[in-house]
Every structure is written in C-alpha cells, then in structure tokens.
C-alpha cells in the first residue's frame, strides 16, 4: 500500500466542516452519521476496511480494523459529536487556519484527536510489518450526552479480546489514566404559590431554596482527595423557579453536579446527598446522569507503551489525571485498560473560539503510531 500523503490540516478541515452537534434527546439529523460516513469512505480509499454501525435513528458509529499478528486488539476510540455552537466568536464550520491553529467547533474536542488516530491508522496499514495486535479504530456518537455510542461499541467488541484502549480527548499530549465521574440530580423545594402583593399568604419556594444552595456551595463532599484528581466537588449548575413577575413561586428546582472520585459508589453518593438535603426540607430526584470515574493502573501495557512513545518523541510522559469525564470510564468498566490522550487543551474545548494547534495533531499521530506498535513490548528495567 502506498503511504498516505493527506495532511493533518486537510483532514481536520474536512471533519470540522461537517456539523455534528449532539441532538441530546432529539432525533439525529445525520450529523454524526455524516462524519462516520466521511471517516469510513476516507479510510476505504486508503485500503482500510471500515463500516458504519447504526446506534440510534440517524446516529452511527464507525469502526475500522487493521489486522495484526494477534487477533487480540488495541482500540483507538474517539467521538464524532460536538457540543452546540451558540456564542461562538469564530465560524463554527469554517475551519479557518490562523497562526498554525485550526478553528471551529470540534477542532479540539474531539475531531483533532480523531484526525490523529486516522493518520496513525493509515500509516500503520501501509507498513510491511503488521502490528503486534490487531488495531480497531472507533469513532462513536453521543459522547457529549448519554454515552450510547461507546456502550454500543462495548457490545460490538464483546467477542474480541481487547488488551487496551487509547481514548482521544484534548489532554495537551499527556497520558491521563484517571478522571472524575459524575452524579447529576435535581433538588426541589415546594412552597405555596400566591399573589406577590400578598406575600404573607404564600410560601416562596425560591426563598426555601436559598439555604439549600448555600449549603451545597459551602460544604465539600466528605471523601479523601485522589492523588491525581484532588477533591470531589459539588456544584449547583442550573436553577428554575417562578412563573411570572407578580406571582410568589410555589416550586423551585436546582440541578446539582457532583464530581466523584475513583472508588466512590455512585448510588451511595446520591443517597447521602438525598438524605443530607432532605434535612433542609428539600426533595431530591433520582440522578438523571450517572457516569463512573476512571482509574487505570499506570503499569498497564497500553499506558507504558504510550509513555514510552512520548519519551521517544521528547515529550513529558508522567501520567496525569483529568477533571472531565470521557468514554474511557465505560471501556474500563467493561474490562479494557484505558488511557486518555490527544492534542489540544481542555481549556479550548467547548469554547467560543475552539481551536487546536496543527503541529500537535501531527505529533499525536506519530506518538499513537509508536504506542500501538509498542504495546506488549518488554518494559524497560
């Protein structure tokens, strides 16, 4: 196979120009599927077998395979969807390049990492020497909402032994082996609605919510900090209450984001918060989002291979923790040791001027290629 000459800039520009905003609970508009189809066709033109897998109506994953000397696999996984484009100060789909950076929604999170994985995969496929393990690349839908793409992928891989995974996210080219989980729930206070001209005849639910918010802001979760992640956190992220400017509200709701640490039981976290807030007179709904934390052993084969590849390329290789959640926790829960890695900074993800440095995308591709080739090699003494 002739080595591919596609540049990181050309590939990433094409990916960013395909809108793929996660529709949340709405019907898919083909955005994620359009990116999946682009990836599939791009790979197949370069001799790499790839297929689309429908996960939800109008929403698909794409999975490609490069055979190795072993049928057991190393997984390269990243996501196809992006967050919304509201408030962006750059054209979300223009894919403009300025000062060596490509701007647009998804450039950093996570089409930059996806582009790096694609470039590594086609170079791997073009080589004369097959990799030690079969390499599976997956671009998945719905990472930014309910993780249904990676859960579908886990089911699809059930019959294949997967020795490790590199999950593409913007980590600034450092290997992340731990990240926080999350439990999100709604807390509610109930009063008695009435006319605002006679507040003494009503009970203001917003006023009842005030001590709940104050308590949540002033009391940290009572768990020891994690060496790579620091403390668990709890934040009020949204408040809803009231029906009009001249009505005392009878109900108020607040959404709470509780970031969990490895080892915390998610159901126990919610039950403790429920009991704690019930003592303040509030109701707490069952969680609407639950996602586990990640805590991969630093000596897992896929981690040591990635760290060795970073060393070879003159990059820092000390393992880190990341505060945000990723698909890696779902893969790890399925028994696949997973490390998070990719170009770009999380500070640029979801931002008004989202962008990624193109040289980082190129370097990430070279590092991933070396890491995949090095999985299973003896560790240095």
The two three-digit tokens of residue 292, written as one number = 């586990």
Domain locations in the chain? 8-179+293-374, 183-291
6-37 pLDDT tens trace: 799 999 999 999 999 999 877 667 789 999 99
**CATH code assigned to 8-179+293-374:** 3.40.630.10
DSSP string, 105-169: TTTTTTHHHHHHHHHHHHHHHHSSS--SEEEEEEEES-TTTT-HHHHHHHHHTTTS-EEEEEEE-
Distance CA 345, CA 355 (A): 9
Share of residues in the chain with pLDDT > 70 (%)? 97
Residue 377 confidence (pLDDT)? 73
332-373 pLDDT tens trace: 999 999 999 999 999 999 999 999 999 999 999 999 999 999
pLDDT higher than 60, residue 379: no
Which residue, among 376, 373, 361, 375, has the nearest Cα to 118 in the 3D structure?
A: 361
Cβ within 8 Å of residue 373, ≥6 positions away: 124, 131, 132
**CATH code assigned to 183-291:** 3.30.70.360
The model's pTM is 0.93
């Amino acid at each position: 196979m002739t080595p591919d000459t596609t540049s990181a800039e050309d590939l990433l520009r094409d990916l960013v120009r395909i809108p793929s905003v996660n529709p949340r609970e709405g019907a898919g508009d083909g955005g994620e599927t359009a990116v999946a189809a682009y990836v599939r066709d791009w790979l197949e033109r370069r001799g790499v077998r790839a297929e689309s897998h429908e996960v939800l109506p109008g929403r698909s994953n794409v999975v490609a395979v490069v055979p190795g000397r072993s049928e057991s696999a190393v997984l390269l996984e990243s996501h196809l969807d992006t967050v919304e484009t509201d408030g962006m100060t750059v054209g979300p789909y223009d894919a403009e390049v300025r000062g060596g950076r490509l701007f647009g929604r998804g450039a950093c999170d996570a089409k930059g990492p996806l582009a790096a994985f694609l470039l590594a995969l086609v170079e791997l496929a073009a080589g004369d020497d097959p990799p030690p393990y079969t390499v599976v690349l997956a671009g998945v839908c719905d990472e930014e909402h309910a993780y249904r793409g990676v859960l579908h992928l886990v089911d699809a891989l059930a019959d294949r032994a997967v020795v490790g995974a590199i999950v593409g996210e913007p980590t600034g080219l450092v290997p992340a082996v731990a990240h926080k989980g999350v439990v999100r729930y709604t807390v509610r206070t109930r009063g008695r609605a009435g006319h605002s001209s006679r507040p003494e005849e009503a009970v203001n639910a917003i006023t009842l919510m005030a001590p709940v918010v104050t308590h949540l802001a002033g009391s940290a979760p009572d768990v020891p900090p994690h060496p790579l992640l620091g403390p668990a956190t709890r934040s009020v992220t949204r408040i809803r209450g009231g029906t009009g400017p001249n009505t005392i509200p009878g109900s108020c709701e607040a959404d709470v984001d509780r970031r969990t640490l490895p080892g915390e039981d998610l159901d126990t976290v919610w039950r403790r918060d429920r009991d704690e807030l019930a003592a303040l007179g509030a109701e707490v709904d069952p969680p609407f989002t639950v996602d586990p934390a990640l805590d991969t052993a630093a000596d897992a084969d896929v981690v040591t291979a990635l760290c060795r590849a970073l060393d070879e390329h003159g990059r820092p290789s000390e393992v880190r923790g990341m505060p945000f959640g990723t698909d890696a926790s779902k893969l790890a829960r399925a028994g696949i040791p997973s490390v998070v890695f990719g170009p770009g900074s999380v500070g640029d993800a979801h931002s008004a001027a989202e962008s990624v440095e193109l040289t980082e995308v190129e370097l990430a591709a070279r590092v991933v290629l070396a890491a995949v080739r090095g999985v299973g090699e003896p560790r240095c003494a």
